[in-house]
Structure 1
Amino acid sequence: MTDDPSMAAPDPAPVRWSLVAQALTRPYPVTPSMILLVSLVPFYIFIAEMMPGRALHSPEVALDRALPLQPAWALVYGSLYLFLILLPVFVVRQQEQIRRTVLAYLMIWITAYVCFFIYPTQGPRPAEVVGQGFAAWGLRFLYSADPPYNCFPSLHVAHSFVSALACSRVHRGVGIAGAVCASLVGLSTLFTKQHYVLDVLAGILLAGFAYAVFLRDCPREDNPDVYRVAPVLALGLLGALGLAVICSWVVYQGSVG
């Protein structure tokens, strides 16, 4: 056994943080399919603007009526959905995984848009949010930002689960955590009265189908550095969004103080 310090194992902490820095600064490829995906986003609003005057459906079941409106879930909805939008950008780095993930997103967005046209719906949200406080303020903001249409299937839920499933191809633990967050997003859409139970179930099924078509056979991440750094990036992103919620609370306190 040698005492030569050059033969000693490297300190894992500096290595890990160097990997984090490398992951955060490495250029991310921009492909035509990504541009197409981003270009589809505004049509969510355009479709919603076409809904007034049409015969709208409400796929309500008994469980929908049993679930109360809970404004605090708006904070879960906003923060975790944004988390799951950004998570694959930080975690999924392999070119083929990126390509297939974007194709899965395209599939759920286009399918959802077709459903919005064929089966126009209106969500179960109340006409007015009663009450004061940060949670009620957050729910009012959510309602103002998201039109009450385009419910079936839940595109927010489908997108969240595709993100979680894509990340599971890189790191199983991150994928499981993402699936938990996606499930909370699904619950939040019910407690904020953004969606019906059937919307959420349809969104989950749509995500599962997209995973089966594009991601199930995709090779898992074989770069040990990417695997090691994935949980750190996920926790950092979650912490940053938690800080954003705190900042929102500070802004709210300033507006009412």
Structure 2
Amino acid sequence: MIPFIPAMIVPYSWSLVLFVVSFFLVRTSIQLSLLSYRLILATVFACLIFYFYPARFSFSRSIPDDWTQLGYQFLQLVDKPFNQLPSLHVSYAMLLGVSLWDVVASKKRWGSAAYRLLLTGICTLIALSTVLTYQHHLLDMFGGVVLAVLVMILSNRIRNALVIKHLTLGVIGFLLIAMTGFYFANMSMIASKVVEDLAIIIASYWLISFTMLACAYQQDKPIRDIRWFRKCSSGRLTVYTRIKFAPIIIIYNGMSLLGQWYFKVFSKSQKYPLTPYAINDKVKVVASARLMQMDLSSHLTYWLFGYDLLERSIVPEKLPYSVHYQIIVVDLAAEISSHTHNLKIAANSSVSTTVHYLYLPLLDLQPLNDVLLQDYIDLFKQIDALIQSAETQAITANNESWVEDSQVKDDQVKDSLITRDHPRFCVTAI
């Protein structure tokens, strides 16, 4: 009983124009972020529904022979009658109307009222045109309204863009994997059902993993809740963490290997660019990415003893005095394992060194502006406690050495004994 009105093809085409123009109408970064969140969420969720419920328009539509004919011919070419429920035209119209409601600020009340009346009229005509052009059914229109309402509720509660990013990656990955399995199953005459079912299982695993990751970013204090990315005492991700977030961990490890390869190939002019910054004569700080195990010994020697000693190939064990070094590793990356374990192996094989491990995920797990000041304070308290503990052990060792060698009168020998267990620190943020 709904009439077909050919002229409604005009407001139906306004949806694309309003979609593009909306990004130029918003006035603040907050409005731009909220607009982007809403449109991305609506598109992602709609595509997911299209996959599970691929509705099609139920009856054919004749092309009119008046001035609107060209518009309907173009529509028939670019907008096929598939993926009907929900109607994205309706969802976009509502979301754009709400997002652009306050972008025009006029000193005169009639100016703002006229703008809002015009915006409401455009969005209403776009929504009505979906059924009056016989492009959607009435149920599709209601589905678009429900989707828009859900997206507006959800977008107002999202904490940062990382939540949107991982939800989007989850849905896109699911669709790509599932469709790839579908096409391979149709191309293969053998075990086609097995191929399609396997693709669905992998795609579902991908979607669940990224949805959990989005939930981790949505937490108020995920930096304190290490159950999302739990690591053992040596900085390695636990098996449970690897199972939960295998897709993102595989991606990050691939990026890490690529970074290590780039560092090795394109940094030949600067063989050891990770120059330590000396806080004082006992403490140095080095910021580095995760390094290859084969390079750790060279970097460790460079950090502790300098470039000249490394170039002269002097073995640390042959130094005149044995100095005990303390290395404190501050792990800031949540999604990949630290190379602390390999660093311990390299340190034990070269010099008398103790490696400590501290975990403070900051980089991709949490934006810097979401990190609490107390987390920084706790980190520096832990570092200070480790340094004081090492100094206490050094004083105790020096006193014991002094008592045992009290018969020795050579001042040079005494000085060497005092120097032997004096702690030196290298704090690395990896």
TM-score, normalised to structure 2, is 0.33
Alignment correspondent of 2:335: none
The 1:190/1:210 distance shift into structure 2, 3 A limit, reads same
Distance 1:163 1:125, change over 3 A: farther
Moved more, 138-147 or 188-197: 138-147
1:188 aligns with 2:129: yes
CA offsets, 1:83-136, max 9 Å, x none? 32133222102111111210111110011001111111111452542x412112
The number of residue pairs the alignment matches comes to 151
Q: Give the structure 2 partner of residue 111 of structure 1.
A: 45
> Which residue in 1 is equivalent to 2:215?
none
- Does residue 75 of structure 1 match 2:16? no
Structure 2 residue 44 is matched with structure 1 residue 102 = no
Would you say 1:205 and 2:140 are equivalent positions?
no
Q: Distance in 2 between matches of 1:122 and 1:111?
A: 18
Mapped contact 1:71–1:192 kept (Cα < 8 A): yes
Instruction: Find the aligned partners of 1:211 and 1:198 in 2 and give their Cα distance.
Output: 20
CA, structure 1 residues 124+73, in 2 after alignment: closer, same or farther (shift >3 Å)? farther
Mapped to 1, the partners of 2:88 and 2:62 lie a distance apart of 24
CA distance in 1, matches of 2:27, 2:128: 29
SS in 1 for 2:68: helix
Per-residue CA deviations over 1:116-170 (Å, capped at 9, x if unaligned) read 11111111452542x4121123222212110110110001111121111101142
Q: Deviations over 1:210-239 (max 9, x none)?
A: 223325999xxxxxxxxxxxxxxxxxxxxx
Structure 1: gaps spanning 5 or more residues: 1-65, 219-257
Q: Which residue of 56, 60, 66 corresponds with 1:122?
A: 56
Residue of structure 2 in register with 1:158 after alignment: 91
Pair 214,135 (structure 1): closer, same or farther in 2 beyond 3 Å? same
Largest Rg, 1 or 2? 2
List 4+ stretches of structure 1 deviating above 6 A. none
Call closer, same or farther: CA 1:158–1:194 in 2, change over 3 Å.
Answer: same
Decide whether the 8 Å contact of 2:15 with 2:89 is kept in 1. yes
Aligned partner of 2:19 among 76, 85, 102: 85
Pairwise CA RMSD of aligned residues? 2.4
Letter in 1 for 2:118: A
Identical aligned residues as a percent: 26
Shift of the 84–154 alpha-carbon distance from structure 1 to 2, 3 Å rule, reads same
CA distance in 2, matches of 1:142, 1:184: 17
Between the two structures, name the one with larger relative contact order (CA 8 Å, sep ≥ 6): 1
Q: How far apart are residue 202 of structure 1 and its match?
A: 1.4
What is the DSSP-based 3-state SS (H/G/I as helix, E as strand, rest coil) of the residue aligned with 1:168? coil
Distance in 2, matches of 1:74 and 1:162, equals: 21
Q: Which runs of 5+ in 2 are unaligned?
A: 105-111, 160-430
Separation (CA, whole Å) in 2 of partners of 1:98 and 1:113: 23
Distance in 1 (CA, whole Å) between partners of 2:153 and 2:20 is: 22
Equivalent residue letter for 2:69:
A
**Which has more helix, going by share of residues?**
1
Aligned equivalent of 2:101: 168
Q: Residue deviations 1:170-196, cap 9 Å, x none? A: 246445532321211111110111111
Shift of the 145–122 alpha-carbon distance from structure 1 to 2, 3 Å rule, reads same
- Report the 3-state secondary structure (helix = DSSP H, G, I; strand = E; otherwise coil) of the residue aligned with 2:150: helix
Which residue of structure 1 aligns with residue 391 of structure 2?
Answer: none
Are the aligned partners of 1:81 and 1:185 in contact in 2 as well (CA < 8 Å)? yes
Distance 1:199 1:87, change over 3 A: same
- The alpha-carbon distance between structure 1 residues 198 and 187, as it changes in their structure 2 partners (threshold 3 A), is same
SS at match of 1:134: coil
Q: 1:144 — aligned with what?
A: 77
